[in-house]
């Protein structure tokens, strides 16, 4: 309803735009679990923008699976900005749709990722199986719920986290890492298509002993299912998941909304934006904000996707058809 009204307003004002300047409308195409963050962030940004430029900005949101959202933009959805959970999704828009110019990750600090998350282990109340680290997930009889790495960025981060943790423990021995990851995925009883569905399987259907998911998703689970129903376990080492953003060049140049779109994303790095991120359990970049919320973000050892030569290389090595994940899946099926 509101979005309909927004459209109507945008249309009505659009016709007057030739004469005077009108409100700017921005469409932010984002992924699923960012809903809660932008619900808080958008009003804050509108207020800031109006005060600074004496101009109103209306922000519309679209949410869905990260890659699915990127595909909509490639297929012509007129997003002003995209806010994704994997750089490969934005790279796909650069390559396939060409709506975003190459070098988008240099236009903002931190490789255009205003905040990050990491993979944590969520266990049942009281941690009955005594799970402490990645190695516990490979033990026989433990059931691990993970979203499908083929269809979900969340699942891909989990795979990389397990692989990377095993590499660190075995001094970089790839064969050992593969064995370890295979043992972990052999313990997966259900492969859901996305992160939210995996949460449902674990919390609602009560399947599995461990759920591996983003740290900020753990906070969503607490809000949805109550804090007493589960425990968050921080493994000894995890993967740093950068959550990148980009201005969609082709669309903003056509609409003339580049200034507002750039402001919108820049503001994510402002102390206010960073604070809202921290409140939503996204790890902030701003040192002062990070210090203020340090209690809710335990410091653990992290490695980045750079260790795999970047996400693009990781995608090719692990997740493309016939690559390591597929081979592992085939081996697991053969053994069963």
Partner 1 sequence: MKFKQHSVLPGFNLSLGYSMLYLSLIVLLPLAALISKSLGLSWAQFWATVSEPRVVATYQVTFGASLLAALINLFVGLLIAWVLVRYPFPGKRFIDALVDLPFALPTAVAGIALATLYAPNGLLGEPLEKLGIKIAFTPAGIVLALTFITLPFVVRTVQPVLEDMERELEEAASSLGATRWQIFSQVILPTIFPALLTGFTLAFARAIGEFGSVIFIAGNMPFKSEITPLMIISKLEQYDYLGATAIAVVMLLVSFALLLLINGLQWWMAKRLGRRK
Is 55 among the residues that bind partner 1 (CB under 8 A)? no
Q: Report the residue from 94, 160, 197, 289 that binds partner 1 according to the rule CB under 8 A.
A: 197
Q: Which stretch binds partner 1 (CB under 8 A): 169-177, 187-195, 283-291, 303-311?
A: 187-195
Q: Report the residue from 24, 28, 42, 67 that binds partner 1 according to the rule CB under 8 A.
A: 67
Is 148 among the residues that bind partner 1 (CB under 8 A)? yes
Q: Which stretch binds partner 1 (CB under 8 A): 106-114, 203-211, 216-224, 279-287?
A: 203-211
For the bound state, the minimum distance from the C-beta of residue 139 to partner 1, rounded and expressed in Å, comes to 20
128/171 with CB nearer partner 1: 128
For the bound state, the minimum distance from the C-beta of residue 154 to partner 1, rounded and expressed in Å, comes to 12
Distances (CA, A) of 306 to 106, 175, 312: 16, 20, 10
For the bound state, the minimum distance from the C-beta of residue 7 to partner 1, rounded and expressed in Å, comes to 25
Footprint of partner 1 on residues 78-97 (CB under 8 A)?
Answer: 92, 96
Q: Which stretch binds partner 1 (CB under 8 A): 101-109, 117-125, 184-192, 254-262?
A: 184-192
Is 189 among the residues that bind partner 1 (CB under 8 A)? yes
Is 332 among the residues that bind partner 1 (CB under 8 A)? yes
Q: Which stretch binds partner 1 (CB under 8 A): 38-46, 116-124, 186-194, 228-236?
A: 186-194
Q: What is the 3-state secondary structure (H, E, C) of the chain?
A: CHHHHHHHHHHHHHHHCCCCCCCEEEEEEECHHHHHHHHHHHHHHHHHHHHHHCCCEEEEEECCCHHHHHHHHHCCCCCCEEECCCHHHHHHHHHHHCCCCCCHHHCCHHHHCCEEEEEEEEEECCCCCCCCCHHHHHCCCCCEEEECCCCCHHHHHHHHHHHHHHHHHCCCCHHHHHHHHHHHHHCCCCEECCHHHHHHHHHCCCCCCEEEEEHHHHHHHHHHHCHHHEEEECCCEEEEEEECEEECHHHHHHHCCHHHHHHHHHHHHCHHHHHHHHHCCCEECCHHHHHHCHHHCCCCEEECHHHHCHHHHHHHHHHCCCCHHHHHHHHHHHHC
Is 191 among the residues that bind partner 1 (CB under 8 A)? yes
For the bound state, the minimum distance from the C-beta of residue 67 to partner 1, rounded and expressed in Å, comes to 5
6/71 with CB nearer partner 1: 71
For the bound state, the minimum distance from the C-beta of residue 210 to partner 1, rounded and expressed in Å, comes to 16
Nearest to 317 by CA among 174, 192, 135: 174
The CA distance from 156 to 315, in Å, is 9
Is 206 among the residues that bind partner 1 (CB under 8 A)? yes
135/207 with CB nearer partner 1: 207
Which residues contact partner 1 (rule: CB under 8 A)? 65, 67-68, 71, 74, 92, 96, 148, 150-152, 188-193, 197, 204-207, 315, 319-322, 326, 329-330, 332-333, 336
């Amino acid at each position: 309803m509101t979005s309909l009204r927004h459209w109507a307003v945008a249309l009505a004002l659009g016709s007057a735009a030739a004469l005077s300047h009108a409100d700017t409308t921005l469409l932010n195409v984002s992924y699923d679990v960012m809903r809660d963050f932008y619900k808080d962030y958008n009003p804050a940004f509108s207020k800031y923008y109006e005060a600074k430029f004496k101009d109103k900005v209306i922000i519309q949101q679209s949410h869905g699976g990260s890659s699915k959202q990127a595909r909509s933009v490639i297929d012509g959805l007129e997003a002003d900005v995209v806010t994704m959970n994997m750089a490969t999704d934005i790279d796909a828009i650069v390559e396939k749709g060409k709506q975003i110019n190459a070098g988008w990750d240099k236009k903002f600090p931190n490789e255009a990722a205003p905040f990050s998350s990491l993979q944590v282990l969520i266990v049942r109340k009281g941690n009955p199986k005594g799970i402490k680290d990645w190695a516990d997930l490979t033990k026989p009889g433990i059931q691990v719920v993970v979203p499908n790495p083929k269809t979900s960025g969340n699942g891909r981060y989990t795979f990389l986290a397990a692989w990377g943790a095993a590499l660190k423990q075995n001094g970089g021995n790839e064969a050992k890492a593969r064995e370890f990851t295979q043992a972990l995925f052999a313990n997966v009883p259900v492969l859901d298509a996305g992160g939210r569905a995996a949460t449902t399987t674990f919390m609602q259907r009560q399947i599995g002993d461990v759920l591996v998911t983003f740290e900020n998703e753990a906070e969503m689970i607490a809000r949805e299912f109550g804090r007493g129903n589960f425990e968050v376990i921080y493994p000894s080492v995890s993967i740093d998941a950068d959550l990148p953003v980009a201005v969609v060049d082709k669309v903003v140049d056509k609409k003339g909304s580049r200034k507002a779109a750039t402001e919108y994303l820049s503001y994510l790095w402002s102390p206010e934006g960073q604070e809202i991120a921290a409140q939503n359990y996204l790890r902030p970049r701003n040192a002062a904000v990070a210090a203020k919320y340090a209690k809710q973000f335990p410091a653990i050892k992290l490695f980045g996707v750079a260790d795999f030569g970047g996400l693009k290389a990781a995608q090719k090595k692990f997740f493309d058809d016939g690559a390591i994940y597929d081979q592992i899946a085939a081996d697991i099926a053969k053994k069963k």
